[in-house]
Amino acid sequence: MEEEQLQALLRDLDALKQRPDDPASIDRMRERVVAMMNPAAGAASRSKIKDMSAEVVDSNPYSRLMALQRMGVVENYERIRDYSVAIVGIGGVGSVAAEMLTRCGIGRLLLYDYDTVELANMNRLFFRPEQVGMTKTDAAVQTLSGINPDVVLESYSLNITTVKGFETFLASLKARSSHERSTGVDLVLSCVDNYEARMVVNQACNELGQTWIESGVSEDAVSGHIQLLVPGETACFACAPPLVVASGVDERTLKREGVCAASLPTTMGVVAGLLVQNTLKYLLNFGQVSPYLGYNSLKDYFPTMEMRPNPQCSNPACVQRQKEYMDSKPARDAAAKAKMEAEASVASECPVHLDNEWNISVVDDEDTASSSIRSTADVLPEGLVRELPAADLYPEPPAAASSSAIDDDLEELQRQLDALNSS
């Protein structure tokens, strides 16, 4: 509630009662009410802040974040304002991820969803009953702009699995925005709830060579996961059947065709927290970004693993990115070596706080093979199971894909998915 605006409204009403012959005051009240109905009005609850300050005063919304610098966790927190993050799917995970990034002061957020808010969503965080009927993107912008007016919000109420929606999605990820500090998008977070939409995000990110983090929650609400996907470097979503965290609940009791999956604010809050924490680590260069992290809530078990790309991947854009990644290996090695030498010379000049702070070392690409999965035939770590049958069981992949042939590919993909769903 806009307490101050309501107080002002009360004063106007009291004044009107003293002088009932003042139609101008009625217009003024009308404007006030309309301003309160305008989503952007929430932004008025605090003014924009030009530079992040570390000053320790109650009125500074960034003091606890800038403290990460003083404590040696992050080298330059304010760099977060330079980054743009796209969130696809503003549901139980995506909306909370958006709120976390907004409160962290991210530069720009791009929000994608085609759904509207329902009372049935109230068992998850973020949306409020009075937002029922609004599009999820509108409701999100309304809430987020009120929380932090410094964040540039772009909302796209569209379905990325349609040809038209995919075009807009791809264009928006590439676009140079009005946001002064950023061009394009630094990271895509997939928070969608179905296989088809994940494959579309996978297609877009493979085409653009765009790093993304996938997230998911099981239909029985008690497990979830996040997975980092770097085109050419890690497995893409088409390289292997998606992995899910085994919940321990008897699979036979799950109604896979049911329209109403279970969900919990806890599981979704944890997954959103792990997702955005890894986003912060990735963008602000601290800690270790997890390649895959599962969450089995029944046992509080958190499996990790790495998945390398499949050279026989059905997605041509993925195979192309894999080739580029291998071709650039000499340049990458040289850069890593130069960085290590530079850090070594810095270390000899000033006191060392942490030895090899980011755990950087020059290793051969094959070094991590022991903890990684190369093909779908490999054994999975304990607690992980495949969500879908092995790739061999899928219909033939599209023959070719390139940016100029997106529409055809998408339609082909759509046909295959339809066939898959109806089988």
Query: DSSP 3-state assignment of 362?
Result: coil
Query: What tokens were used for 420?
Result: 């898959």
Please state the φ and ψ torsions of residue 422, each to the nearest 5 degrees.
-85, -10
Q: Mark residues 178-217: x for contact with a copy of itself by CB under 8 A, - for none.
A: ----------------------------------------
Which CB atom, from 34 or from 344, has the smaller least distance to a copy of itself? Answer: 34
Angle at 369 between CA 365 and CA 370, to 5 degrees: 145
Task: Return the residue of 163, 298, 334, 385 that touches a copy of itself, per CB under 8 A.
Answer: 298
User: Is 263 an interacting residue with respect to a copy of itself (CB under 8 A)?
Assistant: yes
Burial class (CB in 10 A: 0-12, 13-18, 19+), 254: middle
Q: How many residues bind a copy of itself (CB under 8 A)?
A: 107
Examine the residue annotation and report whether 260 is marked as an active-site residue of this protein.
yes
Q: Is the torsion defined by CA of 25, 30, 36, 39 positive or negative? A: negative
Which amino acid type is present at position 68? L
Q: Which one of the listed residues 191, 205, 236, 260 is annotated catalytic?
A: 260
Q: Cβ of residue 258: shortest distance to a copy of itself, in angstroms?
A: 8
State the DSSP string of 222-283.
Answer: SEEEEEEE-TTTS--TTTSPPEEE--SS-GGGS-TT-S-----HHHHHHHHHHHHHHHHHHH
User: Is 124 an interacting residue with respect to a copy of itself (CB under 8 A)?
Assistant: yes
User: Is 347 an interacting residue with respect to a copy of itself (CB under 8 A)?
Assistant: no
User: Is 300 an interacting residue with respect to a copy of itself (CB under 8 A)?
Assistant: yes
User: Is 99 an interacting residue with respect to a copy of itself (CB under 8 A)?
Assistant: yes
User: Is 2 an interacting residue with respect to a copy of itself (CB under 8 A)?
Assistant: yes
Residues 6+ apart with CB under 8 A from 43: 145, 146, 149
Contact call for residues 190 and 212 (beta carbons, < 8 A):
yes
Q: Which of 238, 410, 226 is nearest to 310 (CA)?
A: 238
Which CB atom, from 190 or from 416, has the smaller least distance to a copy of itself? Answer: 190
Q: Cβ of residue 249: shortest distance to a copy of itself, in angstroms?
A: 6
CA distance 139 to 95: 10
Stretch that binds a copy of itself, among 119-127, 180-188, 365-373, 403-411 (CB under 8 A): 119-127
Which CB atom, from 57 or from 171, has the smaller least distance to a copy of itself? Answer: 57
Please state the φ and ψ torsions of residue 49, each to the nearest 5 degrees.
-120, 125
Q: Cβ of residue 207: shortest distance to a copy of itself, in angstroms?
A: 29
CA distance 108 to 77: 15
CA distance 404 to 394: 25
Stretch that binds a copy of itself, among 70-78, 162-170, 208-216, 340-348 (CB under 8 A): 70-78
Q: Cβ of residue 112: shortest distance to a copy of itself, in angstroms?
A: 21
User: Is 281 an interacting residue with respect to a copy of itself (CB under 8 A)?
Assistant: yes
Task: Return the residue of 50, 51, 129, 176 that touches a copy of itself, per CB under 8 A.
Answer: 129
User: Is 137 an interacting residue with respect to a copy of itself (CB under 8 A)?
Assistant: no
CA distance 358 to 343: 11
Which CB atom, from 124 or from 321, has the smaller least distance to a copy of itself? Answer: 124
Which amino acid type is present at position 142? Q
Q: What is the CA radius of gyration of the chain?
A: 24
User: Is 239 an interacting residue with respect to a copy of itself (CB under 8 A)?
Assistant: no
Stretch that binds a copy of itself, among 81-89, 298-306, 360-368, 369-377 (CB under 8 A): 298-306
Q: Cβ of residue 66: shortest distance to a copy of itself, in angstroms?
A: 8
Which CB atom, from 53 or from 375, has the smaller least distance to a copy of itself? Answer: 53
User: Is 219 an interacting residue with respect to a copy of itself (CB under 8 A)?
Assistant: yes
User: Is 286 an interacting residue with respect to a copy of itself (CB under 8 A)?
Assistant: yes
User: Is 262 an interacting residue with respect to a copy of itself (CB under 8 A)?
Assistant: yes
User: Is 106 an interacting residue with respect to a copy of itself (CB under 8 A)?
Assistant: no
User: Is 40 an interacting residue with respect to a copy of itself (CB under 8 A)?
Assistant: no
Neighbours of 217 (CB within 10 A): 29
Stretch that binds a copy of itself, among 124-132, 161-169, 174-182, 361-369 (CB under 8 A): 124-132
CA distance 142 to 189: 21
User: Is 151 an interacting residue with respect to a copy of itself (CB under 8 A)?
Assistant: no
Buried b (16+ CB within 10 A) or exposed e, 315-346: bbbbbbbbeebeeeeeeeeeeeeeeeeeeeee
Give residue 29's region: left, alpha or beta (phi > 0; psi -120 to 50).
alpha
Question: Which residues does the annotation mark as catalytic?
Answer: 260
